[in-house]
Structure 1
Amino acid sequence: MPGNLAALLREAAAVFAQVLVPVQAGLFLLLLFAVSVYDIRYREIPDSLQLAIAALTILCFTPGKLLGALGALPYLVVALFFGGIDGIGGGDIKLATATGLVLGLTASLTASMLGLATFTAYGVTCSCIRRFHGQKERNAFPVGPFLAAGAAVAYFTKIGGIIQ
């Protein structure tokens, strides 16, 4: 009988996963969009949005996803050693932690690489254009939308089985 119960629980988990993954995906995208809009507009990311993203972990929880929070360590190191008024802030670190909990470690690192590469390309392009037009002052750009885009891409490549 215990073998039958274990098999029944596995089947129930598979059925729930088919329902919960699309729900988690939709909510994840919605919250990432809200983070992006808010960060562009106000240059900060509300804790409530980050907490909501982290809470999505409950929908498709596995213990291994807790390691995804370690994906925020590079941001913490950069903020501690190179941070300033216009550098990576606490909101970006918390966003990387929250998305890491949903993604897991491998996908979290993938999201960071994608987001930061896109951010760097955008920043360099904007700086070159400004220099070309004779503007020498520096501008701060919000990092949140780029991290959110990287997290969205990593999430869907993970669901598709491309990354673990």
Structure 2
Amino acid sequence: MLPVIASIVLLLLATATVCDLRTREIPDWISVAIGVIAVVVSLMGWWDLEILWVIVGGLLGLLVGLGLFRFAHLGGGDAKLIISLGLLVGPVGLLIVLFGMAIAGGVLSVIAMVRGQKDLAYGPAILAGFVGYLGLVSQI
């Protein structure tokens, strides 16, 4: 992944995390910005991911995001971030991101239970999943 693009996406995800921790809402413009970045870099040829795989990643993100929104009570902003990350990293990359998110989300859930909280911001887990993806991809 291009370092500049990865840095911009990390900044956007960090902003989403701060918003999620403060207000439990993630602004739509963040997900839209990540999605636009994914499509533009793919169409410009700056990415190893062809536009077909960008679309497939977005569709997988849509399925996963809707499922988590509907059945696991994940927030709508979180689901939209999953869709946009699917566009950015493609279907295989999204599975890696989701694995990291699940681990980080489990840790956050334990922390929330210890604190007696029934609601938790999932933005930090999404950010952690993407950071884990970047760490793994950089080793390949």
Shorter chain as denominator, the TM-score bin is 0.7 to 0.9
Deviations 1:28-78 (A, max 9, x none): 111111111111111011011111111221223522122211134223123
Instruction: Give the structure 2 partner of residue 7 of structure 1.
Output: none
- 1:111–1:146 Cα change, 3 Å: same
Paired residue total: 131
After TM superposition, the structure 1 stretch with the greater mean CA deviation from structure 2, 72-81 or 108-117, is: 72-81
Q: 1:80 aligns with which of 46, 70, 91?
A: 70
Q: Is 1:53 matched with 2:9?
A: no
Moved over 4 A (4+): none
Cα RMSD between the aligned structures?
A: 2.0
Q: 2:22 aligns with which of 36, 41, 49?
A: 41
Instruction: Give the structure 1 partner of residue 125 of structure 2.
Output: 146
CA contact (8 A) 2:112 2:118 kept: no
Q: Percent identity?
A: 30
CA contact (8 A) 1:111 1:153 kept: yes
Deviations 1:117-145 (A, max 9, x none): 21122212431x34xxxx5xx42001112
Gaps of 5+ in 1: 1-19
Question: TM-score normalised to the size of structure 2?
Answer: 0.82
Deviations 1:2-32 (A, max 9, x none): xxxxxxxxxxxxxxxxxx8122111111111
Deviations 1:81-108 (A, max 9, x none): 34xxxx2121111000001111111111
CA contact (8 A) 2:108 2:125 kept: no
Question: TM-score normalised to the size of structure 1?
Answer: 0.71
1:160 Cα deviation after fit: 3.6
1:159 Cα deviation after fit: 4.1
Which has the greater radius of gyration? 1
CA contact (8 A) 1:38 1:45 kept: yes
Q: What is the alpha-carbon distance in structure 1 between the residues aligned to residue 56 and residue 139 of structure 2?
A: 21
CA contact (8 A) 1:113 1:150 kept: yes
Equivalent residues in 2 for 1:9-158, closer than 5 Å:
21-57=2-38, 58-59=40-41, 60=47, 62-63=50-51, 64-69=53-58, 70-82=60-72, 87-127=73-113, 129-130=114-115, 138-158=117-137
Gaps of 5+ in 2: 42-46
